[in-house]
């Protein structure tokens, strides 16, 4: 759902001052492919790390924990990639109302799958305690903060375009 909401995202400032992409350039060009690769590996590592920790700790809810970390990681990533270089906090968290709505709807559905018994049976999930839910939120935020750090580095080495 958040992917559809990106259509409502406003264009970044000075977009017309940027050189156009080459007609033969891949959709994965300009660093997009590298971003997809490292974020995917990071999400995978966080999920596998969560699974390993939960199993070692004897937490029988490990599948629900991993599923929740994955879902929340993807929502955090969606919020972080609204801009290629500008921080979410400087562009305004609520700048794209459709994206906020899509993220909130996805979070609501995730909570329904975790806490509504009928859906628990279908998805084989178990109710998480508030501590477990906060743990999932903390672990999944690793992806968000990693993308924000990546954008910080991009801003540091970025050359201003026409005084921007």
Q: What is the DSSP string of 84-132?
A: SSS-HHHH-TTS-HHHHHHHHHHHHHHHHHHH-HHHHHHHT--PPPHHH
User: For position 65, what pLDDT does the model report?
Assistant: 98
Mean per-residue pLDDT over the chain, rounded: 87
User: For position 7, what pLDDT does the model report?
Assistant: 57
User: For position 163, what pLDDT does the model report?
Assistant: 47
pLDDT, one tens digit per residue, over 101-110 is 999 999 999 9
Average the pLDDT over 136-163 and give the result.
86
User: For position 30, what pLDDT does the model report?
Assistant: 73
The 10 Å CB-count burial string (b at 16+, else e) for 95-122 is ebeebeebbeebeeebeebbeeeeebee
Residue 162 in this model has a pLDDT that exceeds 60: no
Tell me the C-alpha to C-alpha distance, in Å, between residue 27 and each of 23, 32, 157.
Answer: 10, 8, 23
- Rounded CA-CA distance 155/148 in Å is 10
Average the pLDDT over 53-65 and give the result.
97
Residue 51 in this model has a pLDDT that exceeds 90: yes
pLDDT, one tens digit per residue, over 63-105 is 999 999 999 999 999 999 887 878 888 877 777 788 899 999 9
User: For position 84, what pLDDT does the model report?
Assistant: 81
User: For position 46, what pLDDT does the model report?
Assistant: 98
Residue 148 in this model has a pLDDT that exceeds 70: yes
- Rounded CA-CA distance 108/86 in Å is 28
């Amino acid at each position: 759902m958040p992917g559809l909401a990106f259509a409502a995202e406003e264009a970044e400032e000075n977009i017309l001052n940027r050189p156009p992409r080459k007609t033969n350039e891949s959709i994965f060009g300009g660093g997009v492919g590298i971003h997809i690769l490292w974020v995917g590996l990071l999400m995978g590592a966080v999920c596998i790390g969560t699974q390993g920790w939960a199993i070692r700790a004897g937490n029988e809810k490990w599948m629900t924990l991993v599923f929740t970390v994955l879902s929340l990681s993807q929502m955090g990533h969606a919020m972080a990639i609204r801009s290629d270089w500008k921080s979410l906090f400087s562009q305004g968290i609520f700048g794209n109302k459709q994206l906020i709505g899509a993220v909130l709807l996805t979070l609501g559905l995730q909570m329904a799958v975790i806490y509504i018994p009928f859906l628990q049976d279908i998805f084989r999930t178990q109710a998480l305690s508030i501590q477990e839910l906060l743990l999932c939120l903390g672990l999944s935020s690793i992806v968000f903060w990693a993308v924000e750090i990546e954008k910080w580095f991009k801003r540091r080495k970025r050359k201003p375009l026409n005084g921007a």
